[in-house]
Amino acid sequence: MTRLPDFRLETYFSRWEFRARHHMTASDVQTMTLGELLGLADDTDWDAFRNLSLGYTETFGDPALREVIAETYEKADADDVICFAGAEEALYLAMNVLLGPDDHAVVVTPNYQAAETVPLALCEVTGVALDPDRDWALDLDAVAAAIEPRTRVVSVNFPNNPTGKVIGAADFAALARMCDERGIHLFSDEVYRGLERDPARTLPQAADLSERALSLNVTSKSLGLPGLRIGWIACRDRALRSRLERAKHYTTICNAGPSEVLARIALKARETILERNRALIAANLPLFDAFFATYADDFAWRAPDGGCVAYPRYLGANGVEEFCTRLVQEAGVLLLPASIYRSDLTATPADRFRIGVGRRNPEEGLAAFDRWMRTRR
């Protein structure tokens, strides 16, 4: 395996995330306190949390948690689910299980960096870029053209980070069929599922469309509970699931017991939490619409189809990298510039930045952003 490069996003966050006064690029929805989450627990789960023995847990994950996760799928059951310490561990181990030096993968860009760099450390990878000139459309013909006889994985992410794009359900189903017909595993990052602006556009989960597909999810993003560090993969290929378990023996071995009980509480209250989070985003978006309308000469803004991040275009002078650097240094407003999402596989726009729309009370950050913009005029 080739040595992995620095993780650009985390390196950038290490410098700025806890120093900036206004974290305006958060990729998760507003979180809740432990007390608020426990307030959603039924008596059984509250007692389980209070009386939990702090020993090792099962590598596959707490059976009761896996049952609750399975209830969010149409065709997967608890034995099709394996839990991990967040989505990153799940992605990393899945790619190491699925890919070897003689294999090939197809990855959609732009993306969360590990979706590209982990496969690239293992084998040859071909990128297929979402088209910014067609509302970040995915060209299925381009995906088909990228597939080779040795292709083992096609990796996608919808709602997409950073663009917020949600493709059509018919295209997603066609993608799953394309992979099945060629004996390829569709790896689908679905961590923002449930935050679609139009619920009718919610995509089916890949694990429900294909026995070979892997659906990745986590408590961090749509549920706004990143501190739990609980992710999972659902896949109806039991042999593959067993290989994932054996791979996990070399990383975390098992998850934290308290987090598993808390994740169970959150998933049982999933609809309540998602309704709250969708309402928060819906209330925030008009504020962002108004801000960017004020500066229409400086930015091209479009609200995301789903998720809680958007990827506007910067139209000003001196480029988006200098813009983001000066904004955080001078106004304490943190955004992520396009260089964080550059790809070694495809061309990616160099004039974009990621902004988050899922945190409570963005008015203060937008006001600081506005004051800084006015000083530049």
Instruction: Name the segment(s) of the chain with CATH classification 3.90.1150.10.
Output: 8-32+272-375
> 105: helix, coil or strand?
strand
- H helical segments located in 99-248: 113-120, 140-146, 169-181, 206-209, 238-248
Fold of 8-32+272-375: Aspartate Aminotransferase, domain 1 (3.90.1150)
Contact 155, 107 (CB under 8 A): yes
Q: Is the Cβ–Cβ distance between 230 and 259 less than 8 Å?
A: yes
For the segment 105-117, what is each residue's pLDDT rounded down to a tens digit?
999 999 999 999 9
Of the pLDDT bands very low, low, confident and very high (cuts 50, 70, 90), residue 149 is: very high
Rounded to an integer, the average pLDDT of 100-106 is 98
What pLDDT score was predicted for residue 223? Answer: 98
CA distance 125 to 153: 10
- Is the pLDDT assigned to residue 1 strictly greater than 80? no
Quote the tokens at residue 160: 């997409």
User: Average pLDDT for residues 138-166, to the nearest whole number?
Assistant: 98
Each residue's pLDDT tens digit, 336-376: 999 999 999 999 999 999 999 999 999 999 999 999 999 98
Per-residue DSSP letter, 298: T
Structure tokens at 279: 């309402």
- Confidence label for 2 from pLDDT (cuts 50, 70 and 90): confident
Q: What Å distances lie between residue 25 and 9, 86, 202, 341, CA to CA?
A: 11, 20, 23, 13
Fold for domain 34-269?
Aspartate Aminotransferase; domain 2 (3.40.640)
d(CA 149, CA 213): 18
Comparison of pLDDT for 15 and 299, the residue scoring more:
299
Q: Indicate the pLDDT class of residue 128, thresholds 50, 70 and 90.
A: very high
- Give the list of residues 6+ apart from residue 230 with CB closer than 8 angstroms, or none: 65, 83, 84, 85, 86, 218, 219, 255, 259, 260, 262, 263
Long-range contacts from 291-294, C-beta under 8 angstroms, 24+ separation: 291/366, 291/369, 291/370, 294/370
pLDDT at 228: 98
Assess whether pLDDT exceeds 90 at residue 17. Answer: no
CA distance 278 to 78: 27
Residue-wise pLDDT for 264-321, tens only, equals 999 999 999 999 999 999 999 999 999 999 999 999 999 999 999 999 999 999 999 9
pLDDT, position 197: 96
SS3 label, residue 333: strand
Q: Average per-residue pLDDT in the chain?
A: 97
Banded pLDDT at 180 (limits 50, 70, 90): very high
Mean pLDDT of 223-252: 98
| Count of residues in the chain | 377
CA dist., res. 345 & res. 95, Å (int): 17
The tokens 């067993």 sit on which residue?
242
Q: Is the pLDDT confidence value at 181 over 80?
A: yes
CA distances from 322 to 153, 162, 294, 325, 348 (A): 37, 19, 21, 5, 18
pLDDT reported for residue 52 = 96
CB 182 within 8 A of CB 155: no
pLDDT of residue 163: 98
pLDDT of 192 over the 90 cut: yes
Of the chain, the percentage scoring pLDDT greater than 90 comes to: 96
**Mean pLDDT score, 171-184:** 98
Distance CA 134, CA 254 (A): 43
CATH 3.40.640.10 spans which residues of the chain? 34-269
Looking at residue 16, its pLDDT comes to 85
Q: Look at residue 6 and tell me whether its pLDDT is greater than 90.
A: yes
